[in-house]
Amino acid sequence: MLCEPLHPSDAKRLIRQILKMEQVSVTGHAERAMADDSLTMVDCVNVLDGGVVDPAEWENGSWRYRVRTARICFVIAFRSTTRLAIVTAWRF
């Protein structure tokens, strides 16, 4: 069972584990936001793997984590210890 909110370093570790298992889903909102900013799943994987994880924020009934680089941000929510969802994204 996942005990949130996670410390950013713990969230980063879990994100990388989930990426290896390829258990990443994308919400409809995130698909539209990614399309609006010409972001791909390659961008998503690169940012989630190498970006900075900000402290969790409670929003719309779940903990959200911003994972960002200097130019791109993806917001994720853990669905379990083995799955995460991309909630939204944008290019700075």
| Tens digit of each residue's pLDDT (9 = 90 or more) over 3-14 | 999 999 999 999
How far is it, in rounded angstroms, from Cα 8 to Cα 76?
Answer: 12
The pTM score is 0.97
Tell me the pLDDT band of 1, cut-offs 50, 70 and 90.
Answer: confident
Domain boundaries, the chain: 8-91
What crossing angle do the helices spanning 8-21 and 41-50 adopt, rounded to 10°?
Answer: 140
- For 28, the enclosing helix (H) or strand (E) is helix 28-36
CATH C-level class of 8-91: alpha beta
| Tens digit of each residue's pLDDT (9 = 90 or more) over 23-52 | 999 999 999 999 999 999 999 999 999 999
**Taking 90 as the threshold, does the pLDDT of residue 92 lie above it?**
yes
